[in-house]
A = this chain, B = another copy of it.
Amino acid sequence: MNATYPAAVKVDDKTSALSIRELGSFLAGGRTVTLSDRPCQRVKVARNGPDRIVDLNGDYVTGQCYVQFVRLSDRNQPFPVMFWHGGAMSGVTWETTPDGRAGWQMYFLRQGYDTYVCDAHERGRAGWSPYPDIYKDAPIFRTSNEAWSLFRFGPADGYQTDPKQRVAFNKQQFPVGYFDQFAAQFVPRWTDHAEESLTAYVEALRRTGPVILISHSQGGNFALDIVQRVPELIKALVVIEPAAAPRFTAESLAKAATVPHLFVWGDFIDDAPLWQGYRSVVDPYVTNLQNAGGCVQVFDLPREGIRGNSHVPMMDTNSDEVAGLIDGWLRELCL
């Protein structure tokens, strides 16, 4: 894998300094669960240290999400941007791209927005809890093979272990030479925790106050659901390639429709039956939102003349161009 890593992290020297008041983080949501009747283990916990008794009975805090904030000294936008990653991912999605360019967190900071980068419940720095004691099931994992087609870097049979043998779509914007650096970002996920994940995210929003929410893939599913529940905490919602549309009632749809929505779709969907299926569920929801009076915009990037984007436009070589489109849409809202 090391052969496909960038030689060194590139530094974005061309841009001016950011003036920052504070960097930090907090955990939001969560509850205490008590386990009992598990056998104790004698474990050598620290290498070169003595064995000690590990007793897994007791209290666990479970269900929290992680929120990392950057507060500018001179923000010029009234609302911060909060980022929600997709399935099998973490907040790393929004940081440096796999090929070492500044990501969307930096982009939006430079445009004058405070940022919150989240790790959903059970992902990344949010931690996860024992199964089958607290979580019911085992997690699932993302293989590189699956990711290659799921993220629409290339055809389903285009992935090979040897980077030189991989087949990408023509004019692919994702920096496929750095795919293994991307695959190193994957984290395990559970498939039955949506409600707990939403609860933690709502708690995060209550702590931060109203935000502009930029969400990706499964994070977009969460966002479309949550905006029906707490529209007052989301000033504008950007959904990058959601994999599902939420259930709704007339009442919950009307709530969602009070918040401007922007949907963003990349290229190669015609080559990806899975994504055609996902989109066929989302497009009618867009129509429903519009019919409910919502301010809803769809950026279908190829139709805008922007070709070659994968499922992760925030990492594609034209990531700044796509971010610029989103920022332009946000500015026109005059929040």
Contacts and interface: CB of A to CB of B under 8 A. Distances in A.
A24 B9 contact: yes
A304 to B, nearest CB: 26
B45 A87 contact: yes
A185 to B, nearest CB: 6
B41 A140 contact: yes
B11 A47 contact: no
Nearest to A47: B194
B19 A244 contact: no
Residue in A20, A47, A274 whose Cβ sees the most chain B Cβ within 10 Å: A47
A143 B109 CA distance: 37
Interface residues of A, number: 100
B59 A161 contact: yes
A69 B8 CA distance: 13
B71 A11 contact: yes
A168 interface: no
B60 A141 contact: yes
10 contacts: A1-B32, A19-B20, A25-B96, A26-B100, A48-B246, A56-B140, A58-B143, A59-B145, A64-B184, A124-B124
Interface of A: 1-2, 6, 8-9, 11-13, 17-27, 30-32, 34-35, 41, 43-50, 52, 54-61, 64, 66, 68-71, 73-74, 87, 90-92, 95-96, 100, 102-103, 105-106, 109, 119, 124-125, 127-130, 140-141, 143-146, 159, 161, 180-181, 183-188, 191, 194, 203, 207, 218, 221, 243-247, 274, 277-278, 281
